[in-house]
Amino acid sequence: MLTRTEGIVLRTAVFGEADLIVTYLSRDHGVIKAFAKSPRKIKSRFGSSLEPLTYSRIAVLGREDAQLPRLTQSDILRPFQALREDYATLVKIMQLVELNLRFLPEREPNADAFRLLMQMLGKLEEGGSRELYHLYYKYRFLQIAGYLPGLEICGRCGSVSGDRAVHHFYLAHGSILCEHCAHDGEEKRPVSAGALRFFQGMQKWRFATIDRVTVPEPLVGELGRLLDAHITYVLARPLRSSAFRQ
Ligand SMILES: [Zn+2]
């Protein structure tokens, strides 16, 4: 069966002497893998379309349940070349790519994750406030994946966070806890009241309007570190099956 879709190359892995296994985040089928025959030969018809982050129109051939369908077509729609030219930029983006690889089950359609990554790559290529984009991407991605941390109410009793200057985020709960529910000895991170308010406002953001947002840089840094700690904690444990996510 021939399947046509569009996809962003997440990564490639060498297979045999001249072949590659290409992992895509596709528009219609979520994360998919395809076997590319001889792309490393000089006259390969795939050209540079298998470079990481390249957005292409692709076709894969194989039975629906085949583990590794064969890539038969790959035409570049948008190369995102500039994002690969600067090493520091690329390293940061590959962390986001890693989120897709780790959180999203293979062959489970996820149009939201696809759209989000497309928007993110587009914004990064334009330039602008990259730290803010990265923070916003992680926020939306965790929401899509069903792992957005809870920073609005106590994760145990549901009480609304009070007027304290500093709250605490408990990694094992994935949320803040009020002082009645928190126990000593649980791994936690302090979160400032300013960061909490800022985080709660992020729900209204969109990539289309994000450049109008002005945020103090320390808050972006604080929330970025908090989300990273949360992600590291979550990924160190088995993920919930998608059927159990809210
Ligand atoms: Zn509580």
Q: State the distance from the centre of ligand 1 to the C-alpha of 72, rounded, in angstroms.
A: 55
Q: How far is the CA of 178 from the centre of ligand 1 (A)?
A: 4
Q: How far is the CA of 176 from the centre of ligand 1 (A)?
A: 9
Give the Å distance between the CA of 177 and the centre of ligand 1.
5
pLDDT along the chain (246 residues), means of 10: 95 90 97 88 78 96 83 96 92 95 96 98 89 96 97 91 84 94 92 93 93 91 96 89 51
Whole-number Å distance between alpha carbons of 59 and 75:
9
> Domain for residue 231, yes or no?
yes
Domain presence at residue 4: no
With respect to residue 154, please indicate whether it lies within any of the assigned structural domains: yes
ipTM of the complex model: 0.99
Distance 161 CA to ligand 1 centre (A): 9
Q: Is residue 242 assigned to a domain? A: yes
CA 156 to centroid of ligand 1, rounded, Å: 5
Residue 46 has a pLDDT of 85
In this prediction, residue 241 carries a pLDDT of 61
Per-position DSSP letters for 163-179, written without gaps between them:
S-SEEEEETTTTEE--T
Residue 98: inside a domain, yes or no?
Answer: no
pLDDT of residue 246: 44
pLDDT of the residue at 103: 97
pLDDT of residue 66: 73
Separation of first and last alpha carbons in the chain: 34
- From the CA of 236, how far away is ligand 1's center (Å)? 25
Please give the residue range of the domain that contains residue 177: 128-246
Determine how many CB atoms are found less than 10 A away from the CB of residue 28: 14
Q: What is the tally of structural domains in the chain?
A: 1
- Asked if 116 contacts 144 with a C-beta cutoff of 8 angstroms, the reply is yes
| Distance from the alpha carbon of residue 153 to the mean position of ligand 1, in angstroms | 8
Distance 195 CA to ligand 1 centre (A): 19
Query: Rounded to the nearest whole angstrom, what is the distance from the C-alpha of residue 185 to the centroid of ligand 1?
Result: 16
Nearest residue to 113 via CA among 34, 7, 209: 7
174: left (phi over 0), alpha (psi -120 to 50) or beta: left
The whole-angstrom distance between residue 24's C-alpha and the CA centroid of its chain comes to 13
Would you say residue 245 lies in a domain? yes
pLDDT value at residue 163: 76
104 within a domain of the structure (yes/no): no
The answer as to whether 123 is a domain residue is no
Compute, in angstroms, the gap from residue 90 CA to the centroid of ligand 1: 41
- Structure confidence at residue 1 (pLDDT): 86
Q: How far is the CA of 160 from the centre of ligand 1 (A)?
A: 8
What's the gap in Å between 244 CA and the centre of ligand 1? 23
